[in-house]
A and B are shown apart, each in its own frame.
Chain A
Amino acid sequence: MSLGVPGAEGAPLLVLDGVTKSFGAVAALRGVRLALHSGEAHALVGENGAGKSTLVKILAGAHAPDSGRMTLDGRPLELRGPADARAAGIAVIYQEPTLFPDLSVAENIFMGRHPLRGLRRIDSRAMNRDAEQLFQRLGVRIDPSRPARGLSIADQQLVEIAKALSFDARVLVMDEPTAALSGVEVERLFGVARSLCERGAAVLFISHRFDEVFDLCQRVTVLRDGAWVSSDSAADLTVDEVVRRMVGRDVSSLYPKQDAPLRDTLLEVRGLSRSGVFSDVSFSVRGGEIVALAGLVGAGRSEVARAVFGVDRYDAGEVRVAGRALPPNSPRRAIAAGMALVPEDRRQQGLVMELSVERNATLARRRALSRLGLLVGGAERAEARIWTRRLQVKAARLAAPVATLSGGNQQKVVLAKWLATEPRILIIDEPTRGIDVGTKAEVHRLLSELAGEGLAILMISSELPEVLGMADRVLVMHEGRVVRELPRAEADETSMMFAATGQGATA
């Protein structure tokens, strides 16, 4: 194991040495070191809670380290705030895009750095033109004068990248930028990252997808429990070795679904259509079965799930639960019929971030837990304890706000919330998005267990290995239609990609 000190490439551009950061009693980072070289893409991997996000926040100037040194070009670097980081040429693309929904795309890119004309007024024509040029460099079409509200997550990510490009970042930090992107979009992003590298920038890339890590990066640093484990050339590493270092033990990164006896059809969807979004979607899910909805981002998978659950309206078709028609537009009736939806965007749709773990975990069960219309704390706590223990949620206290948990643990709380309603049908959208390998395996094992107990599970996933490992049947969507249905035996990466890109429909 090498020591992460400057190698043959010469002096590093940005160095962190012995960086420590604690939040209260919890040590998030303990003496972490990192050396980023100009022209090199460097991967930072580690389980959730390993301290990656804290490290990113320190590089972004949002957190000040408790101790340790940072140098840029050999000179000491002190970041008193995000403005300092920006001035030093450090651009950060966060996992969750941080845009201003009310402002135009161009303004989002140039906020605080608008091009000016006379009297220091903003030159909006130049601003829109510059934004247009950035998008041309990225090879995408986004109207710079439209508001950021309503952009897809992939497009939001592109705006963030344009922002980073716009101030000629010397260090580009990308915190799981690909979690919401489809294959084509990831390729485009990597193209931009590589061209930045060629121009002498250093890239720090954080991802849970190892194929991407090895595709893009020349060097890999592993963190575990807030401590530095290793920094090596990517060529000297294998995926298995990286995973072993991340978790400190051997795990099978994917937990294949156990065969469960198939029971009666629980969920049946017939001819579901919504004008312009999806059309004529039909499928059924039996108890004990996991059916995956696969396809590219934007193919309409989440929209179908939301319509089935009654959050969104649909124009035609019907949804039947255990043979009985479910009225449209009523999540209440869907819940009463035994349906649960674990949404894709857990921060916005799955959790109340300011509320405690126990409140969140029991949110969908308020009625059942209340006595005479009052919620007694004890009942919530007892219920929450059962589920957080079963799902092994790692939280300091059950009364701690959910916002303080790591991404993987937040996802477990969302799961706990819905499992507490004892559903018969579980719809789960991107169950392991942004979750580390260890927790991923736990979630997979749990889903397999639930199917074994007779639940019908509809899973939406953009990760092919997950779909292939977990699903009994795969429905591939393309532009709002189910174009292929593949039983487990026939599903493989090639057949799915063909269908998802619209080429398999005729085959």
Chain B
Amino acid sequence: MSLTDTGAPARADGDPPPGPGRPRRTLTERLLAVRELGLLLALGALILVTTLRNDRFLSAQSIKDLLLGCAILVILAVGQTLVIVTRNVDLSVGSILGLVAFATGDLFLAAPGTPWPVALLLGVGLGAVCGVINGGLIAVAKVPALVITLGTLYAFRGVDYYWAAGRQINAADMPRSFLRLGNQTVLGVPVLFLVALVVVAAVGCYLRCYRSGRELYAIGSEPAAARLSGIPVGRRVLAVFVANGALAGLAGVLYAARFGTLDAAAGSGLELQVVAAAVVGGVAIFGGSGSAYGAALGAVLLTTIGSSLAVLRIDPFWQQAVVGALILAAIGLDRLLALRTAARLRGRSLHGA
């Protein structure tokens, strides 16, 4: 398990001066310990290599496409971070996204005059309802979230197919103001990406600076101790699933706005990319550590790998293999850091690195 970010609030205001008995760290360890920095370095290296092969990779249009492409995955990865930190997982996000996206399109078909903010709120609300179902089932059935959300992954998708009944919704069915939301830019930055940034900042700050946010880490780190120290574990876990559902709903609305063409299969299989982004971003799958910033960077990295492999004209098959290798590398790095930290904390390690 990683120790990547949990000390963050302690570190945020600068390290206290080292005194006797205080464990020392080497510079490399400090750098590695800030997972976000490592991800940024990886991202930079990837962009550099790709640009050297094809300089159009850094053109304004290409960057815009990249930001647009990663926005939805970023939002989902950040929502998933909330869940994973509490030692749970939500596999139903792809289905929630698909359901909300189609529902949004259908709303415009049924009531063409609906202003887009209303559609947005309804979409987020529907996502939250799905989250309530997930969280409620987990609380009532006392079954691991993995199993419950595997069930709702199929259930929500089934509802989606039933609703769609084979129909497809096209961009022409939706108001132009709504579709602009998906493609407009402000100072060259896509609105979609700005929305994602706001989500990252809000969730990141919540997890780092608020009591209830820190309690999520406590729950994931040691659930029994969390209960004994008076943390309302059930309520927090429910809230986390509702929040994640709402974010998946938001992602669903944005998906509809961006692609315009919708059928019941939208977002199929997305959940694994989301979990992969979080894990690559340093969110420990057993809970208790990781940050929203890391997960967001993980999502950006995965998206960039996709487009850079395309630019480099590499077989799409390799994309999956690279993502897989990256996940294994991320887990390996976590393990290595955990071992080194453990050795250092025992105060007996003799590293000279």
Q: How far is the CB of A465 from chain B (nearest CB, A)?
A: 31
A144 nearest in chain B by CB position: B10
CB-contact partner of B228 in A62, A121, A124, A146, under 8 A: A62
B229 in contact (CB, < 8 A): yes
Render A83-114 as a binary contact track against B, CB cut-off 8 A, 1 for contact.
Answer: 11110000010100011111110110001111
CA distance A277 to B232 in the complex (A): 41
A141 in contact (CB, < 8 A): yes
CA distance A169 to B100 in the complex (A): 50
Contacting residues, chain A, for B214 (C-beta < 8 A): 103, 107, 111, 114, 122
Instruction: Provide 15 A-B residue pairs closer than 8 Å at the C-beta atoms, listed in order of the A residue.
Output: A83-B231, A86-B229, A86-B230, A98-B224, A98-B229, A102-B289, A103-B214, A111-B229, A122-B208, A122-B210, A124-B13, A143-B22, A146-B345, A149-B3, A149-B341
Q: Please determine whether B10 and A100 come into contact, CB atoms closer than 8 angstroms.
A: no
Apart from A86-B230, A106-B10, 18 more pairs, CB < 8 Å: A61-B230, A82-B227, A83-B231, A94-B228, A104-B7, A104-B10, A107-B9, A107-B218, A112-B215, A122-B9, A122-B211, A124-B10, A125-B13, A141-B20, A145-B11, A146-B7, A151-B345, A277-B348
Q: Please determine whether B210 and A120 come into contact, CB atoms closer than 8 angstroms.
A: yes
Q: How far is the CB of A402 from chain B (nearest CB, A)?
A: 16
A480 nearest in chain B by CB position: B348
A6 in contact (CB, < 8 A): no
Contacting residues, chain B, for A113 (C-beta < 8 A): 211
B345 nearest in chain A by CB position: A150
CB-contact partner of B227 in A62, A99, A121, under 8 A: A62
Q: Please determine whether B221 and A83 come into contact, CB atoms closer than 8 angstroms.
A: no
Contacting residues, chain A, for B218 (C-beta < 8 A): 100, 103, 107, 111
Q: Please determine whether B345 and A147 come into contact, CB atoms closer than 8 angstroms.
A: yes
10 nearest A-B pairs in the assembled complex, by CB-CB distance: A83-B230, A150-B345, A102-B288, A98-B225, A276-B348, A145-B10, A100-B221, A82-B230, A124-B9, A121-B209
CA distance A21 to B114 in the complex (A): 59
* Contact A149 B342, CB 8 Å, known A100-B222, A107-B9, A143-B22: yes
CA distance A111 to B226 in the complex (A): 9
CA distance A148 to B15 in the complex (A): 17
CB-contact partner of A82 in B13, B21, B229, under 8 A: B229
Q: How far is the CB of B263 from chain A (nearest CB, A)?
A: 42
Render A243-275 as a binary contact track against B, CB cut-off 8 A, 1 for contact.
Answer: 000000000000000000000000000000001
Q: Please determine whether A103 and B210 come into contact, CB atoms closer than 8 angstroms.
A: no
Contacting residues, chain B, for A101 (C-beta < 8 A): 221-222, 288
A60 nearest in chain B by CB position: B228
Q: How far is the CB of A315 from chain B (nearest CB, A)?
A: 11
Contacting residues, chain A, for B232 (C-beta < 8 A): 81, 83
Q: Please determine whether A147 and B3 come into contact, CB atoms closer than 8 angstroms.
A: yes
Q: How far is the CB of B246 from chain A (nearest CB, A)?
A: 21
Q: How far is the CB of B328 from chain A (nearest CB, A)?
A: 22
CA distance A143 to B344 in the complex (A): 13
Contacting residues, chain A, for B209 (C-beta < 8 A): 121-122
Contacting residues, chain A, for B224 (C-beta < 8 A): 98
Give chain A's interface secondary structure class. loop
CB-contact partner of A99 in B21, B225, B231, under 8 A: B225
Render B31-63 as a binary contact track against A, CB cut-off 8 A, 1 for contact.
Answer: 000000000000000000000000000000000
Q: How far is the CB of A121 from chain B (nearest CB, A)?
A: 4
Q: Please determine whether B210 and A121 come into contact, CB atoms closer than 8 angstroms.
A: yes
* Contact A102 B21, CB 8 Å, known A111-B229, A150-B345: no
CA distance A122 to B10 in the complex (A): 10
Q: Please determine whether A102 and B221 come into contact, CB atoms closer than 8 angstroms.
A: yes
Interface centre among A101, A102, A146, A149 (most CB of B within 10 A): A102
Contacting residues, chain A, for B220 (C-beta < 8 A): 102
Q: How far is the CB of A111 from chain B (nearest CB, A)?
A: 5
CA distance A92 to B228 in the complex (A): 9
* Contact A104 B6, CB 8 Å, known A83-B232, A122-B210: yes
8 A Cβ contacts from B124-146 to A: none
B5 nearest in chain A by CB position: A102
Contacting residues, chain A, for B221 (C-beta < 8 A): 100-103
B343 nearest in chain A by CB position: A150
A48 in contact (CB, < 8 A): no
CA distance A100 to B16 in the complex (A): 22
B349 nearest in chain A by CB position: A276
A114 nearest in chain B by CB position: B211
Q: Please determine whether A112 and B20 come into contact, CB atoms closer than 8 angstroms.
A: no
Q: Please determine whether A99 and B10 come into contact, CB atoms closer than 8 angstroms.
A: no
Render A134-175 as a binary contact track against B, CB cut-off 8 A, 1 for contact.
Answer: 000000010111110111000000000000000000000000
Q: How far is the CB of A84 from chain B (nearest CB, A)?
A: 8
Q: How far is the CB of A410 from chain B (nearest CB, A)?
A: 16
Render A270-301 as a binary contact track against B, CB cut-off 8 A, 1 for contact.
Answer: 00000111000000000000000000000000
CA distance A102 to B214 in the complex (A): 11
Contacting residues, chain B, for A61 (C-beta < 8 A): 230
Q: Please determine whether B341 and A102 come into contact, CB atoms closer than 8 angstroms.
A: no
CA distance A276 to B346 in the complex (A): 10
B254 in contact (CB, < 8 A): no
CA distance A114 to B210 in the complex (A): 9
Q: Please determine whether B226 and A100 come into contact, CB atoms closer than 8 angstroms.
A: yes
Contacting residues, chain B, for A149 (C-beta < 8 A): 3, 341-342, 345
Render A43-76 as a binary contact track against B, CB cut-off 8 A, 1 for contact.
Answer: 0000000000000000011100000000000000
Q: Please determine whether A145 and B15 come into contact, CB atoms closer than 8 angstroms.
A: yes
A302 in contact (CB, < 8 A): no
Contacting residues, chain B, for A106 (C-beta < 8 A): 10
Q: How far is the CB of A99 from chain B (nearest CB, A)?
A: 6
Q: Please determine whether B231 and A111 come into contact, CB atoms closer than 8 angstroms.
A: yes
A128 in contact (CB, < 8 A): yes
CA distance A147 to B220 in the complex (A): 15
B217 in contact (CB, < 8 A): yes
Q: Please determine whether A112 and B231 come into contact, CB atoms closer than 8 angstroms.
A: yes
Render B319-346 as a binary contact track against A, CB cut-off 8 A, 1 for contact.
Answer: 0000000000000000000000110011
Contacting residues, chain B, for A102 (C-beta < 8 A): 1, 3, 6, 217, 220-221, 284, 288-289
Contacting residues, chain A, for B3 (C-beta < 8 A): 102, 147, 149
8 A Cβ contacts from A442-497 to B: none
* Contact A100 B217, CB 8 Å, known A83-B232, A122-B9: yes
B350 in contact (CB, < 8 A): yes
Contacting residues, chain A, for B284 (C-beta < 8 A): 102
Q: How far is the CB of A279 from chain B (nearest CB, A)?
A: 12
Q: How far is the CB of A152 from chain B (nearest CB, A)?
A: 9
Contacting residues, chain B, for A145 (C-beta < 8 A): 7, 10-11, 15-16
B187 in contact (CB, < 8 A): no
CA distance A146 to B222 in the complex (A): 17
Q: How far is the CB of B205 from chain A (nearest CB, A)?
A: 8
Contacting residues, chain A, for B225 (C-beta < 8 A): 98-100
A101 nearest in chain B by CB position: B221
B151 in contact (CB, < 8 A): no
Contacting residues, chain A, for B208 (C-beta < 8 A): 122
A116 nearest in chain B by CB position: B211
B9 nearest in chain A by CB position: A124
A81 nearest in chain B by CB position: B230
Contacting residues, chain A, for B112 (C-beta < 8 A): none
Contacting residues, chain B, for A275 (C-beta < 8 A): 350
Q: Please determine whether B229 and A112 come into contact, CB atoms closer than 8 angstroms.
A: yes
Q: Please determine whether A112 and B350 come into contact, CB atoms closer than 8 angstroms.
A: no
CA distance A124 to B225 in the complex (A): 22
